[in-house]
Chain A
Amino acid sequence: MSGKNEDFIVVEHLKQYFPAGGHGKNKKYVQAVDDVSFTIKKGETLGLVGESGCGKTTTGRTLLRLYEPTGGRFVFDGDTIFDVEKKEYANMLPYRKRMQIVFQDPYASLDPRMTVGDIVGEAIDTHHLAKDSKERYDMIIELLRKVGLNSEHANRYPHEFSGGQRQRVGIARALAVNPDFIVCDEPISALDVSIQAQVINMFEDLQKDLGLTYLFIAHDLSVVKHISDRIGVMYLGRMVELAPANELTNAPIHPYTQSLISAIPLADPKLARQSKRIVLEGDVPSPVNPPSGCRFRTRCPKATEHCAKEAPEFKEVLPGHFVACHNIDPDALKKEPD
C-alpha cells in the first residue's frame, strides 16, 4: 500500500456500467468507464481529456459516489471510499466535506429559486459548520470574496449573473465545506473565451492558497495542459495514456493521443499552416458494443490483428509515462525527455 502522503487519491480498476435495455441474458450495458486506474498526489492537478462519451465525466462522478461504482477501488487519503470486490463502502457524509465538484453548466447547476447566499450556505447548513446565522452569513460573504464576488451578490438570484459569475458561485459552493479535493467537470467550457482565463486563474490561485487537489476534466487540451501537472487521455471508457503534461503534449506515444494533439487547431496562423494533421477516419464506436481488444483499433492507423485479439495493458513505458498500446514505436521510448 502506498504511503498516506505519497498518493492522496488512488483509483484502481474503476468500472462504471450503465444498463442499456435488454433483459436476462440479453441485458446490455454501456461500458462508460472500464478498468481505469490513476493516482493523484496532494496539491497536484490531474487533467483528464477525451472526446464526448469517453467516460471522463463519469469517472469524476463515480469517485464522488454520485453513481454506484460497478467495480474497482478508490482510496482517499488512506481511507477506502469504496472497494467493490470487498464490498466495502464508506459512509459518504463526512467525506462530502472533503470532496466536492464544480459542474460544467453554470446555467443548469444553480437552483434558480435560491439566492446565491443560500446556494453557497446550503452546504454550511448540511454539515452544521456555522454556530448561528451571523456566523453563517460571515462565512458566505467570505466565500464570495474568495471567488471575486462581493457581499451584495448574496441576496441576488442566479439569473442576475453572467456565465462567468455563475461559475464563480458554483466554485464558492464547492469551497463552502473547506474541501481537500475538487472534481472540476468542464468548468470553463460554457464560458466565453475572454472569461475563461479569469476562471482558470482563479482555480490556480485557490489551489495555491488552500492547498487543493484537482481532478480537472475538460475536452480542451490547451486548457488542460495549462492547469495540470499530469494529464490522462481517455478513449471509449479506457485510459490510453497518462504522463506529465509537457511530456504528453510534446511527445505523445499512443496513436490516439498523437492524432488528438494534431487535430487541435493552433491559434497561430504560421504554425497552423505548417502543422500536419493526422485526421482520424470514422466516428467513435458505441460503448454498448465496444470493439474487441484495443478499443481504438477501428480508427487506429497502426492497428494489427493482434490489437483485435487482446486489449493492451496499461503500463509504464517511461518513468511516470503510462501507455496502453501494443505497437509502441521503439524510437518514441528512446527520446528521453528532460
Chain B
Amino acid sequence: MSDEYLVKIENEKLSFFTPAGEVKALNDVNITLRPGEVLGIVGESGSGKSVTAYSLMGLTADPGKLIGGKIRFNGHAIETMSEKEIRKIRGNEVSIIFQDPMTSLNPVYTIGNQITEVITLHTGKSKQEARERAKELLELVGINEPEKRLKQYPHELSGGMRQRIMIAIALACEPKLLIADEPTTALDVTIQAQILELMMDLKEKLGMAIIMITHDLGVVASMCDHIAVMYAGRIVEYGTTDQVFYEPSHMYTKGLIRSIPRLDVDEHQRLIPIEGTPVDMLNPPAGCPFAPRCEKAMKICLRQPAPITEFDDTHYTYCWLHQKAAMEKQAARPEVADSRIAMSQGGEK
C-alpha cells in the first residue's frame, strides 16, 4: 500500500523528558516522500524540523522518546526496530549531512579513514577496494587531488571542502534518501551556491530523495519539490513549492514570506514582522501554537489545535480560518461568531 512512498511518517509524537518538564517536540507530524523527490522542511530554531528528520534515522537522543505514530522508510518500520537493526540501514539506505562541517568530522582521523570506515562497514569491501571507492567519491563531489586529500586531516581543509567530504561520506553507499540538516548555513553564500549545485547534480545522477532542513526560504525555493512548514513541533502547512510560496494558507507561512526583505524590490517598503516571541516549548499554548502571535486569531484558536484542511492532494494546512466546520460551529454558536467579528474589526489579539 505504502510501497510508492519512500518515507511515510504518520502522526508522529515525540517528547523530550527534561528536568524542567515534558517538551512536546513533535505533535502529530505527517510526512510523505516519494523516491527522487526533494522535500524542504522550514521553520525556526526549536520548531522540530531536525528532530523529525533524526527520528527517521533512529537518532532520537536520550531524554527524547518516541511516544506515538508510525515511521515507515523504504519498507522498514523504524519505530519497532532495534538499534542493531537500524545501524544496518543508517549510512547505507539513509544518510545525513549536518549543519556544521567544522565539528561533524572527527579531527583525529584522516579524511580517507573516515570515508573508508563507512564503506567497509556496510559493503564488506577490502580496505584497498574501499580506498579506491573513496577516491571515486571525492571526484564525484568535485574535490581535486583526491589521493592527497585522503591523507589530510579535517583542519587542513576549508569549510566548503569539509562539507563536500561530508557529502562524499553520506553518498558512500548510494543511499535512497539523503537528509541535509542546514547543510549550507555555516557556509558563505558563494560556497553555498557551489554546494547546492552539487547536491542537485548528485540527485540527478544517483536518483536519491532529499530532505532539506533549513530556515532559509531562498534555499527551499530554488531546490525543493514540496515544502513542509513547521512551527512549535507541528507541521502547519504542506504543499508544493509553488503552492506554499504563491498560495500560502497558514498565517505563519504568510507572515514568514512577508517578513523577509527582497533583493528584487527597489522602492523601500517597511517590513511586516511577525510580532511576539517564539513559543516556550515547556508551556505551549493549548490551541494552535501560532495563535498568540497570529493577527487573525479567534477564540477557538487559543483553545483547540486546528484540524487539517485539505485543499487538494498535495496542499494542506492546520488553521481554523480554513475550517469549514469551524464556520458551521460558529453559525450554531453565536458567542463564538460574535467574538470573531469583534476580533476582525478590532484587529488586535
Interface on A for B, CB 8 Å cutoff? 51-52, 162, 164-165, 192-198, 200-201, 204, 219, 221-223, 225-227, 246, 249-250, 259-273, 277, 279-280, 283-284
Q: Which residues of B contact A273 (CB under 8 A)?
A: 222
The reply to whether B263 and A221 contact each other, CB–CB distance below 8 Å, is yes
B348 shortest CB reach to chain A, Å: 16
In B228-249, the 8 Å CB interface with A consists of 241-242, 245-246
- Asked, given contacts A266-B263, A268-B264, whether A192 binds B219 with beta carbons under 8 Å apart, the answer is no
Q: A162 is contacted by which of B194, B216, B278 (Cβ under 8 Å)?
A: B278
Q: Which residues of B contact A283 (CB under 8 A)?
A: 158, 160-161, 191
Q: Which residues of B contact A249 (CB under 8 A)?
A: 263
Cα A52 to Cα B188 in complex, Å, equals: 7
Cα A223 to Cα B259 in complex, Å, equals: 11
The reply to whether B222 and A194 contact each other, CB–CB distance below 8 Å, is no
Cα A246 to Cα B197 in complex, Å, equals: 27
Cα A263 to Cα B85 in complex, Å, equals: 41
The answer to whether B63 has its CB under 8 Å from any CB of chain A is no
Cα A192 to Cα B271 in complex, Å, equals: 15
Sample 30 A-B pairs with CB under 8 A, ordered by A number: A165-B277, A192-B215, A192-B278, A193-B215, A193-B256, A194-B256, A195-B273, A196-B260, A197-B272, A221-B189, A221-B263, A225-B261, A226-B261, A262-B193, A263-B189, A263-B192, A264-B189, A264-B263, A265-B192, A265-B196, A265-B221, A266-B221, A266-B222, A266-B264, A267-B262, A272-B221, A273-B222, A279-B193, A280-B193, A283-B160
B180 shortest CB reach to chain A, Å: 14
A51 shortest CB reach to chain B, Å: 4
Minimum-distance CB pairs A-B, first 4: A265-B218, A197-B273, A226-B261, A272-B222
The reply to whether A193 and B44 contact each other, CB–CB distance below 8 Å, is yes
Cα A263 to Cα B191 in complex, Å, equals: 9
The answer to whether B45 has its CB under 8 Å from any CB of chain A is yes
Q: Which residues of B contact A280 (CB under 8 A)?
A: 190, 193-194
Q: Which residues of B contact A198 (CB under 8 A)?
A: 273-275
B230 shortest CB reach to chain A, Å: 13
Q: Which residues of A contact B268 (CB under 8 A)?
A: 226
Q: Which residues of A contact B218 (CB under 8 A)?
A: 264-267, 272
Interface size class of B (residues with CB under 8 A): 35 or more
The reply to whether A260 and B190 contact each other, CB–CB distance below 8 Å, is yes
The reply to whether A197 and B190 contact each other, CB–CB distance below 8 Å, is no
Q: Which residues of A contact B277 (CB under 8 A)?
A: 162, 164-165, 195
Q: Which residues of A contact B278 (CB under 8 A)?
A: 162, 192, 194-195
The reply to whether B259 and A194 contact each other, CB–CB distance below 8 Å, is yes
Q: A265 is contacted by which of B222, B255, B259 (Cβ under 8 Å)?
A: B222
The reply to whether A194 and B44 contact each other, CB–CB distance below 8 Å, is yes
The reply to whether A223 and B273 contact each other, CB–CB distance below 8 Å, is no
- Asked, given contacts A198-B273, A225-B263, A283-B158, whether A269 binds B221 with beta carbons under 8 Å apart, the answer is yes
Q: Which residues of B contact A267 (CB under 8 A)?
A: 217-218, 221, 245, 257, 260, 262
- Asked, given contacts A51-B188, A261-B263, A283-B161, whether A268 binds B221 with beta carbons under 8 Å apart, the answer is yes
- Asked, given contacts A51-B190, A263-B189, A267-B217, whether A197 binds B44 with beta carbons under 8 Å apart, the answer is no
The reply to whether B271 and A200 contact each other, CB–CB distance below 8 Å, is yes
The answer to whether B270 has its CB under 8 Å from any CB of chain A is yes
Nearest B residue (CB) for A223:
B261
Q: Which residues of A contact B246 (CB under 8 A)?
A: 269
Interface on B for A, CB 8 Å cutoff? 44-45, 158, 160-161, 188-194, 196-197, 215-219, 221-222, 241-242, 245-246, 255-257, 259-264, 266, 268, 270-275, 277-278
Cα A210 to Cα B298 in complex, Å, equals: 38
Q: Which residues of B contact A279 (CB under 8 A)?
A: 190, 193-194, 197
Nearest A residue (CB) for B215:
A193
Q: B241 is contacted by which of A262, A264, A269 (Cβ under 8 Å)?
A: A269
The reply to whether A259 and B273 contact each other, CB–CB distance below 8 Å, is no
Q: Which residues of A contact B160 (CB under 8 A)?
A: 283
Q: Which residues of B contact A197 (CB under 8 A)?
A: 259-261, 271-274
The reply to whether B259 and A204 contact each other, CB–CB distance below 8 Å, is no
Q: Which residues of A contact B245 (CB under 8 A)?
A: 267-269
The reply to whether A269 and B215 contact each other, CB–CB distance below 8 Å, is no
B174 shortest CB reach to chain A, Å: 25
The reply to whether B190 and A263 contact each other, CB–CB distance below 8 Å, is yes
Cα A264 to Cα B246 in complex, Å, equals: 20
Q: Which residues of B contact A196 (CB under 8 A)?
A: 259-260, 273
- Give 16 new A-B contacts, CB below 8 A, not counting A266-B222, A279-B193: A162-B278, A193-B44, A193-B256, A194-B256, A196-B273, A197-B260, A197-B274, A200-B261, A222-B263, A226-B271, A260-B189, A264-B189, A265-B193, A265-B196, A266-B221, A271-B264
Nearest A residue (CB) for B222:
A272
Nearest A residue (CB) for B274:
A194
Cα A193 to Cα B218 in complex, Å, equals: 12
A62 shortest CB reach to chain B, Å: 22
A144 shortest CB reach to chain B, Å: 16
